Amino acid sequence: MTRALHKKGPRRQSVVVQGLPHYRSGLLTRKRNAGHIALVYGADRPWAIPGDTVIFTAWITNDSASYLRDVTLIPRSFTNEGMEALHYTAEPVPGDLEISLLAPGQSVMRSFSYVVADSDYLHGGSLVSAMRVRATCRGRVILDEHDAMVSLSGMRRD
């Protein structure tokens, strides 16, 4: 707490003002060219039934004027409505999920696929696949996340 004292006015020590510490902090603005990464993630279809192959595609874009380093696509979770952990039928090898350098304006794409099982359909609801992208720009870690959902409410082929 700091007591407010005015040089030209009368000293009124009964007035107490809460204030900031006696040092100035930097501006609370984004650093220039600090970098920004965008993840767009979606499925090739809005709904699916057992036996359908769903292709999930992640587009990673450097939409800044700075180079991004150590870009990593991280699968977070993939579940059905029963909250069962699912595994992609086909996915990039771990080395393809890591991009050492992404130039300004450059994009990369990675795809994952999954064949819908009967057990997924029995739960109903949706398949939910969550992805995160992480990168370093000018010594700072930047992130983006996105989920892709596929409804399992379509008519079943018998």
pLDDT at residue 127, rounded to an integer: 97
- The domain ranges of the chain are 34-151
pLDDT digits (tens, 9 = 90+) for 32-79: 445 789 999 999 999 999 999 999 999 999 988 999 999 999 999 999
pLDDT at residue 153, rounded to an integer: 77
- C-alpha to C-alpha distance for 57 and 29, rounded to whole angstroms: 33
pLDDT at residue 3, rounded to an integer: 44
pLDDT digits (tens, 9 = 90+) for 137-157: 988 999 999 999 999 976 655
Give the torsion sign (CA, 92, 132, 82, 150).
negative
pLDDT digits (tens, 9 = 90+) for 83-136: 999 999 999 998 999 999 999 999 999 999 999 999 998 888 999 999 999 999
- C-alpha to C-alpha distance for 71 and 125, rounded to whole angstroms: 33
Does residue 119 come out as left (phi exceeding 0), alpha (psi in the -120 to 50 range) or beta?
alpha
**What is the CATH number assigned to the segment(s) 34-151?**
2.60.40.1530
